[in-house]
Structure 1
Amino acid sequence: MKNFYGILFILLSIQTLFGQVCQPNLLYQDSTAGVYPRPIIPGGSGKGIDKSACINKPYEFVFTVVIPDTLRIPGVPLLLTLTHAKIETTGAISNLPLGIDYFCNPPSCEFPKKSIGCLILKGTPTNANMPGTYKPIIKLTIGTLLGNITIDYPGVQFPGEYFLELLDENCVIATQDINIVNDNFFPNPTDGWINSREENIFDLKLTDLHGKTIKMQSQAFNNKFILPTEINNGFYLLHWKSVNRSYVQKILLNR
């Protein structure tokens, strides 16, 4: 009998573990109310969605949801006492590429007050999508003692934007205006320092081959770019702009 209950406990534990589609980032547990990472505010803060998706390749990105017991919403003169926050289990996140859906922990997508949960963007973008930048918006219902309030996040009350970059099947081109080059930055392979043959380049971004942003830099000072010391050897993609054109080059790091 003891063995039976032991096996039952293990099975229930496994079911619970796999039933949790995502885990919240506990670094945000003492943060103010919101969805983290925060949306990007031009000229301000917010990390946004820092992982790109690729057509016909599986994709996941986790948001952490922090719900306190009180909340002050811009435009509402009262400090609101919360009961919960909720998004519908389907259709609550707009502007996603076809093939990407969302799921929550808890599965009901209802987050009680004084709790931390998560929602995950998950799926495989299909060929029906055009590569480019998508701007997801979460329709969120906030439960208060005075009734429910429905808002867009980000939106008027919580400004900023989320940008989900969808690349092609090679995880390279996000728009038809990007030019793939092989020899602008040198030496390649590199031990960490690379130089640009072209001057006046800007908006540099280093990503891995899955599209995850590793480093961003507004300009190439003295036509140089330094790869972070903490990343491993291997291939990376360096994106940049010059005049009215965008470029990308594959860089091999070999320290």
Structure 2
Amino acid sequence: MKKLFLLPLFALMLGNFQLTAQSGCTPEEMLPDTVIVLPLPYQDDFPERGIQDTACVAGYYETTIQLRIPETLTVGTTEVGISQVEITSQGISNLPAGFDYICNPPSCVFLPEEVGCIQLYGEAAVEDVGMHDLKINVLITTQIAALPYTLPDGNLVPGNYFFFVRPEGSDNCLVDATEVTENAFDLRIQPNPFSDLSEIFVDLPQGGKYDLQVFNTLGTLVQQRSLELVSGQNSFRFDGSNLATGMYIFRLQQGAQAASGRLLIQR
């Protein structure tokens, strides 16, 4: 792995902003060696990349970015070793005032070939509605010098981290896909990320017909099905074999009650 692609961030949750990002994120030790950071920045040719979720006013937002710093970096025609990558005191530019981030390790210093993570969290205000082009300010310490970078930079890390905030009550305001409670639904998915098949587990207050909708990063409905579920514990298989690699938004709903989350297909 010769280039540092970056440390992105973000995904969202509904809830109360008075709840901070609990104990922070957990590094995914099973992150493949070929994956430097997840997700990759958005590019026009790769719309499935980038920040996949939408924050909504008055809704709690939280997401985790997994990353693995490579051992070397190419500067011009020279390959140099990386000692560490650190988020500087400038932090994340263009981040709305109601948001913050924490790292694991807590120092926000990431070492080569060790898996770490960044968690972005907060609550959007009305004045935040719109698109925010987030930039991560880092210091890359190499064998030669310490190099300040703003990522994505269009060269070392091409693309953008567009963070969208929508008005309160908008569609696809998401919660974390691993374990959530929204309108009395307890929901988790295992495994996530996955290749083709995963299992969704949900604890429902009442049985009946539920609608499952899956959206891509552009908000296009790519899969929909109706499910007959019972009160209490349920599980059903999700087949993503016909979907491209990337992040997807799912929503399980019955009337005014719903739970939302993210599905990450990785092959």
Relative to the length of structure 2, the TM-score reads: 0.57
- Which whole-Å deviations, capped at 9, do the CAs of 1:58-111 have from their partners, x for residues lacking one? 1101111211221235xx2111201111002x4321111220111111111001
Aligned length: 178
- Counterparts in 2 of 1:122-137, with a 5 A limit? 122-127=121-126, 129-137=127-135
Q: Which has the larger radius of gyration?
A: 1
1:57 match: 59
The structure richer in helix per residue is 1
Contact 1:40–1:48 under 8 Å retained in 2: yes
CA distance in 2, matches of 1:106, 1:30: 19
Pair 1:155 & 2:153 matched = yes
Contact 1:70–1:82 under 8 Å retained in 2: yes
SS at match of 1:136: strand
Q: CA RMSD in A?
A: 3.4
Contact 2:53–2:217 under 8 Å retained in 1: no
2:178 match: none
Contact 1:103–1:121 under 8 Å retained in 2: yes
- Closer/same/farther in 2, CA of residues 163 and 26 from structure 1, 3 Å limit: farther
1:70 match: 72
- Closer/same/farther in 2, CA of residues 215 and 45 from structure 1, 3 Å limit: closer
- Which whole-Å deviations, capped at 9, do the CAs of 1:126-155 have from their partners, x for residues lacking one? 23x231111111112111110111112111
2:97 match: 98
1:234 match: 253
Of 225-234 and 60-69, the range deviating more from structure 2: 225-234
2:81 match: 81
1:47 match: 49
- Counterparts in 2 of 1:1-255, with a 5 A limit? 20-33=23-36, 35-44=37-46, 47-72=49-74, 76-88=76-88, 90-127=89-126, 129-156=127-154, 157-172=156-171, 214-215=215-216, 226-227=223-224, 230=238, 233-234=252-253
SS at match of 1:92: strand
Contact 2:52–2:217 under 8 Å retained in 1: no
Relative to the length of structure 1, the TM-score reads: 0.59
SS at match of 2:146: strand
SS at match of 1:87: strand
SS at match of 2:125: coil
CA distance in 2, matches of 1:77, 1:235: 58
Contact 1:51–1:61 under 8 Å retained in 2: no
Q: Gaps (5+ residues) in structure 1? A: 1-17, 175-188, 193-205, 208-213, 237-249, 251-255
SS at match of 2:128: coil
Contact 1:84–1:111 under 8 Å retained in 2: yes
Equivalent pairs: percent with the same residue?
27
- Which whole-Å deviations, capped at 9, do the CAs of 1:141-191 have from their partners, x for residues lacking one? 1111101111121113211011111011213499xxxxxxxxxxxxxx997
Per-residue deviation, 1:123: 1.1
Per-residue deviation, 1:232: 6.4
CA distance in 2, matches of 1:218, 1:21: 28
